[in-house]
Amino acid sequence: MSGSLIATKLFVPKLRAGVIDRGRLNERLQRGGTARLTLVSAPAGFGKTTAVVAWLQSRPPAGAVAWLSLDGTDNQPTVFWAHVIAAFQDAVARVGAPPLDIPEPSEQPDNVVPGAIVNALAALPGSLELVLDDYHVIEQPEVHSGVTFLLEHLPPNIHVVMTTRADPPLPLARLRAQRELVEIRAADLRFTADEITAYLNDVTGLGLSAADVAALGDRTEGWIAALQLAALSMEGREDVAGFIAEFAGTDRYVFDYLVEEVLQRQPETVREFLLETCFLDRLSGPLCDAVTGRSGSRETLDVLYRANLFLVPLDERCEWYRYHHLFADVLETQLDAAARDRLRALRRRASDWYEVRGERTEAVRHALAAEDFERAAELIELAIFGMQRMRQELTIRTWMGTLPDAAVRRRPVLGIGLAGVLASVGEFEGLEERLREVERGFAAITAAGDTMPEGIAVADLAQLPRVPGLVELYRAALSQVRGDMAAGVRHAERVLELASTDDHLARAAAASLLGIAYWSEGKLELARARWTEGRDGLMRAGHVADTLGASIALGDINLALGRLREAAHIFEYALEVSAAQRSPVLRGTADIHTGLALVLREQNDLEAARRHLLASAELGEGARLPQNPYRWRVADALLRQDEGDLDGARAVIETAVRMYAADMFPNVRPVAATRARILVAQGRLDEAARWRRDAGVGPDDAPSFMREYEHITLARLLLAEDLKGGGGTGARALPLLRRLLEAAQVGRRNGSIIELSILLALASRPAGIEEALKHLARALSLAAPEGYVRTFVDEGPSMEALLKAVVKRQIDAEYANRLLAAFGPAQPKPRMHPELIEALSERELDVLRLLGSDLGGPEIARELAISENTMRTHTKNIYEKLGVNSRRAAVSRAEELQLMTRRKA
């Protein structure tokens, strides 16, 4: 996102000379530092930004300040969070702290970026103020949701200040009730009589009488913008008292009156400059020169700034400015019909200026505002493929809502780019018709030969050869969404025929879609080959983060094929790829740790498996895909079962069931079935039987790969019910197990073959040892090269007895002896409570114990010999990990989880 950042938005505005001291406001803002949020909310022109800047300059050095001046372009979540992160990085750099470990927003789903920011800020040793200036320009619910998350999880050393013209849709009532909100309203910002006197007489030097100051104060009601405009109007006027007497009426009347008085008193050249540049969000000398067609704009801006004509500097060198928002509104009201026609031409010039400098987002915005739709369409076409890679689909979608559809239909390259955007955001309705439009345009170009046919336009000629392949790619995706896997395969294979060998992205996407289709059908060797192509192609295309998602799929497929070692190699390689990136931890890295933990757990390296699970949790939200929370808990539940923490295993798997999140991968291992397996292993057969009814599986079902895992789970339940009490035969499970084994052998799914052979051995044992050992020998021969352990050991004493018989008969005795060695006492339970994804540290447990006492915060800090700030940090961490928001709730929750007792012991 670095190329899209506007550096001038990160500068704290300069405080112009002559700003009066408003100590009462400074004190109020200073008190806000103890809360999460200080909200400075008032109408335009009340001096919100100036008040915050004055407070920051008045206080002694107290940590870093991250400033972000917001504008309408920040409604794209990726852009918003990129600027927030840049503001944080700029702030810590200014105080000499190391950069924060925050992922690039373009590599992350929008909903995980706030969590990544919180995790990074929690490690910041000092305090930090984040100022979000002009938050009222933000309208996107996704951004509000992310800011809400940020506020609710802020570390205690971070404080947010927000200036806005209207209260934002944030949980202000809850923050207010928690005493985590300090509010500064219009009533607080209004100038008092003393402040009005100081401004009008001391700063502007008008020398007004007390009566005139009081009258003007009454009429402006302390509104500083009106006072400033009034002061400008009174300069050089002889009848000041008469002016003040006439200065009355409604806000709108005052507004119009001051426009006439201020603007009409300016020289014609200044008025013309103001009206020609009022539409610009940011002004610089070169940009204004290009827009107005005249030179000398830099000097004009300097004159306007010195004349207090509502120009706000945006950087320390005063190269960029913006108009005060109220003043810009005033200027735009003065544009007549002819001026508005000229404004379109001026916007086109601004668009051209930004395009020459490679700032296509700004170029497109001004072209659309100028209603130069052909130019806008051309610019969007040139930008769309790069923006897709940067995950700016929402911005593109917003543009397309303004751009007439006719401008898109005549541009096949733009049309196929838009089709990709629609597919990526899940808007499949009308996609097929758009693909047909693209095909018709491409066919017309092909038929015309060397000349572009009339009514067709192409700006990005380099993308034109890709069009047929991309049409087939999006048809493949559309077919899979509709559940027509055969058509999806057909279209994806067509992509591979059409796409050039160097179109790595299209070929990788097609290969991945084929991998999904083959995976769903149980054709795992084909799925494995295609996903390998997809992963490697994504790497060649530079989509490194996406290779981690492909690695997760490859690992899962290899586990189903019984290739533990290859799955481990895939996960380890993915971790190497992630570690090699200079940017923050890639999205999906946490999921790779989870996958590797499952492999290590099966190989009975429980300690290493636990380390990887903890590493996954510690990476935080920014490094995980939406599916990791439930996948992590599945792995944790299985590991707890192996460690002997049966209650913990049940609690965690219940949470995993609730947290399940679907993705593009086929759901071949439903979490509910894993929960049933844990219940069966613990002998809770009645509870497991309820799963059978809910899942709708029966022993006479025809085998299918999509339900194979569930049918094997059912077989486990039937076998456990048959053998309960030691008097059963296992006969009910045998027919189902044999049919499932035959299907798995046809599909060469060794992972299932190993498990089914083990269950057949256990089910056959009551009828005779020879049949049981035949099945067990098959399992051992396939499992030994891969290092399987838990699949055997988890079957308990019955399997242990069979393995002893294997050793006695010298059937793969070496491997059987290794397995027998793993039948030992249960390992100690982990310290982490099953309902906590992240354990409380030793120091946090110390703080938690004292929170249950009568000691106050400062007393607890002294008791533990830590600073109050460190104590607050520990308290915030405890609240977050326990899912509470108060001291009483933390103690209550800790007692419920027996954490207080454990620590005291």
Query: Which of the residue ranges 136-150, 673-687, 716-730 would you say has the lowest mean pLDDT?
Result: 716-730
What's the pLDDT at 146?
Answer: 92
Residue-number span of the structural domain to which 891 is assigned: 842-904
Domain boundary among 189, 215, 249: 189
Q: What integer is the mean pLDDT of 9-15? A: 89
Alpha helix positions (H), 580-729: 589-602, 606-619, 628-643, 646-659, 671-681, 685-695, 708-723
d(CA 823, CA 798): 11
Query: Which of the residue ranges 187-201, 486-500, 839-853 would you say has the lowest mean pLDDT?
Result: 839-853
What's the pLDDT at 702?
Answer: 92
pLDDT in tens, 849-859: 888 887 777 77
Higher pLDDT, 717 or 224: 717
Q: What percent of the chain has pLDDT over 90?
A: 49
Query: Which of the residue ranges 71-85, 200-214, 484-498 would you say has the lowest mean pLDDT?
Result: 200-214
d(CA 552, CA 340): 56
Whether 771 and 892 map to the same domain: the answer is no
Q: CA 713, 606, 765: angle at the middle one, nearest 5? A: 40
When pLDDT is cut at 50, 70 and 90, the band that residue 636 belongs to is very high
Evaluate whether 754 touches 782 at the Cβ level (below 8 Å).
Answer: yes
> Does the pLDDT at position 537 exceed 70?
yes
863 in any annotated domain: yes
When pLDDT is cut at 50, 70 and 90, the band that residue 250 belongs to is very low
Whether 86 and 179 map to the same domain: the answer is yes
Evaluate whether 606 touches 642 at the Cβ level (below 8 Å).
Answer: yes
When pLDDT is cut at 50, 70 and 90, the band that residue 583 belongs to is low
Whether 182 and 210 map to the same domain: the answer is no
Give the strand order in the sheet containing 311-313.
Answer: 283-284, 320-323, 311-313
510 in any annotated domain: no
What's the pLDDT at 903?
Answer: 41
Query: Which of the residue ranges 393-397, 416-420, 502-506, 593-597 would you say has the lowest mean pLDDT?
Result: 393-397
Nearest to 508 by CA among 482, 560, 469: 469
Q: What percent of the chain has pLDDT over 70?
A: 91
737 in any annotated domain: yes
Higher pLDDT, 372 or 330: 372
pLDDT in tens, 273-284: 998 998 999 999
Whether 70 and 161 map to the same domain: the answer is yes
Determine phi and psi for 322, rounding to 5 degrees: -140, 155
Look up residue 844 and give its amino acid: E
When pLDDT is cut at 50, 70 and 90, the band that residue 253 belongs to is very low
What's the pLDDT at 182?
Answer: 93
What's the pLDDT at 905?
Answer: 35
What's the pLDDT at 248?
Answer: 46
CATH number at residue 898: 1.10.10.10
User: Hey, what are 540's tokens?
Assistant: 């060649």
Say whether 67 sits in a helix, a strand or coil. strand
Whether 712 and 738 map to the same domain: the answer is yes
Threshold 0.85, pTM exceeds: no
pLDDT in tens, 663-697: 778 899 999 999 999 999 999 999 999 999 999 99
Whether 865 and 733 map to the same domain: the answer is no
Evaluate whether 331 touches 274 at the Cβ level (below 8 Å).
Answer: yes
Domain boundary among 189, 220, 253: 189
450 in any annotated domain: no
Domain boundary among 786, 821, 856: 821
Say whether 320 sits in a helix, a strand or coil. strand
What's the pLDDT at 254?
Answer: 47
pLDDT in tens, 787-809: 999 999 999 999 999 999 999 88
User: What is the distance of C-alpha 521 from the center of its chain?
Assistant: 32
User: Hey, what are 602's tokens?
Assistant: 């099966």
Evaluate whether 602 touches 617 at the Cβ level (below 8 Å).
Answer: no
Query: Which of the residue ranges 481-495, 588-602, 862-876 would you say has the lowest mean pLDDT?
Result: 862-876
- 162 Rama class: left (phi>0) / alpha (psi -120 to 50) / beta: beta
Whether 182 and 47 map to the same domain: the answer is yes
What's the pLDDT at 1?
Answer: 43
Evaluate whether 370 touches 358 at the Cβ level (below 8 Å).
Answer: no
CATH number at residue 805: 1.25.40.10
> Does the pLDDT at position 833 exceed 60?
no
- What is the rounded average pLDDT for all residues in the chain? 86
> Does the pLDDT at position 781 exceed 60?
yes
Query: Which are the contacts of 250, defined by CB distance < 8 A and separation ≥ 6?
Result: none
Whether 787 and 865 map to the same domain: the answer is no
What's the pLDDT at 713?
Answer: 97
CATH number at residue 109: 3.40.50.300
User: Hey, what are 463's tokens?
Assistant: 């993308």
727 in any annotated domain: yes
Q: CA 412, 415, 416: angle at the middle one, nearest 5? A: 90
Burial 421-436 (b: 16+ CB within 10 A, else e): bbbeeeeeeebeebbe
831 in any annotated domain: no
> Does the pLDDT at position 31 exceed 60?
yes
The DSSP secondary structure of 611-634, one letter per residue, reads: HHHHHHHHH-GGGS-TTHHHHHHH
Q: What integer is the mean pLDDT of 858-865? A: 77
Q: How many domains does the chain have?
A: 4
Residue 65, H or E segment:
strand 64-69
What's the pLDDT at 108?
Answer: 61
What's the pLDDT at 804?
Answer: 92
When pLDDT is cut at 50, 70 and 90, the band that residue 298 belongs to is very high
* Eight-state DSSP code of residue 884: -
Q: What integer is the mean pLDDT of 264-268? A: 78
Whether 100 and 210 map to the same domain: the answer is no
Residue 164, H or E segment:
strand 158-164
Q: What integer is the mean pLDDT of 742-749? A: 94
Look up residue 593 and give its amino acid: H
What's the pLDDT at 106?
Answer: 67
318 burial (CB, 10 Å; 0-12 / 13-18 / 19+) is middle
> Does the pLDDT at position 726 exceed 60?
no
Higher pLDDT, 308 or 449: 449
What's the pLDDT at 190?
Answer: 85
What's the pLDDT at 746?
Answer: 94
677 in any annotated domain: yes
Evaluate whether 553 touches 515 at the Cβ level (below 8 Å).
Answer: yes
What's the pLDDT at 423?
Answer: 84
355 burial (CB, 10 Å; 0-12 / 13-18 / 19+) is buried
Whether 20 and 125 map to the same domain: the answer is yes
What's the pLDDT at 438?
Answer: 94
d(CA 515, CA 525): 10
Q: What integer is the mean pLDDT of 871-882? A: 78
858 in any annotated domain: yes
Whether 765 and 815 map to the same domain: the answer is yes
Whether 47 and 185 map to the same domain: the answer is yes
